[in-house]
Amino acid sequence: MRTLLRPTAFVDSPFGHDGKVARLAGGMSWFTAVELIAVDGNRRASTELVPVDGIESRFDQDMAAQWEALIASRRPLQVGDRTVRLDQPQVMGIVNATPDSFSDGGQFPDGKAAAEAGARMAAEGAAIVDVGGESTRPGARSIWEGDEIERVVPVIRQLAAAGTAVSCDTRKADVMTAAVEAGARMINDVSALTYDARSAGVAASLNVPLVLMHHQGDPQTMQDDPRYDDVLVEIYQWLEERIEAAVEAGVKREHILVDPGFGFGKNVGHNLELMNGLALFHSLGCPLVVGASRKRTIGALSNEAPPDKRLGGSIAFAMKAIEQGAQIIRVHDVLETVQAVRVWRGLRDQALTPRP
């Protein structure tokens, strides 16, 4: 039996609440209460809501370590020459150089068009552009590394040459290597280093930031009938294990980011529960990446709207994630999401301006 800590009861600012609030991950969110989640195996045995004031008297060693991870500042990401601050939310733009991705597959006829799209995203305010060459939508089949490299390398090379901070979305060791050689300075692995036996060692040797994403099953089968005893607890503990596995393989802990994998082996109910409980994952001590843009859940909640008609739902999920302290929001619609983030930031800045 162990106890997990989920921050809740957020307030706009800490002013006038000395000792009663805590700052979440060194960011722009403050919370006044914590849900103590007693875990037995893979599920919640009980929950208790307690105020921040005096909470440390309840801690055992494991809970104390989680608490320190919750409130510790996240160091900036160094993505090549670009420094990406994580004390405020950042937007990551998605460029799928694929013919079959669920939302924008086949949109770009060649690498030049894909690179131009990435450059537009950077100009619109994306801190990082994530380039992928293999679809991992439900039902998608794996492709040969050589084909994936051929798709992503020209795009990465053009973007990096223009000074864009580039990530490569891949689960294959050889693609990771080729991407970094082309100028990518971050790896986003939807398999969390479980797909390719060589990927953990390669990721460690490349010495760049690495996103570990939760998934259940592979893209071909992951949406057939996903099941969990307790989706929030299981994903937390799975990511905890993957972080430790990556560190044991030589990946620097400060290079690791985590993504709970919205839509990857999860049904609508799982996704909604995951988003509602998102703040729990900060106690893993890693920056949090959330990618809910245009996902199937939005269509399910809006009369089966197709992917290109899911902007409103995508922004709603982005704002829900940001309010719970997510540091990086991965999206297709950069201009609109950046605008929403800037309005949120304006509201927060005003709340954090002391009154005369």
Say which of 137, 185, 294, 330 is annotated catalytic: 330
Nearest partner of 212 among 164, 177, 156, 251, judged by Cα: 251
| Cα–Cα separations (whole angstroms), residue 265 to 21, 233, 269 | 35, 15, 12
Residue with tokens 């993504």: 259
Cα–Cα–Cα angle for 222, 228, 229, rounded to 5 degrees: 170
How far is C-alpha 1 from the chain's CA centre? 28
Does the active-site annotation cover 112? no
Cβ–Cβ < 8 Å for 207, 180: no
Q: Establish whether 330 is a catalytic residue.
A: yes
Tokens of 43: 């599920």
Strands (E) located in 128-175: 128-132, 166-169
- Give the separation between CA 95 and CA 129, rounded to whole angstroms: 7
Catalytic member of 23, 74, 137, 295: 295
What does DSSP assign to residue 255?
Answer: G
Closest-CA residue to 210 (of 156, 157, 249, 265): 249
Active-site residue numbers?
A: 295, 330
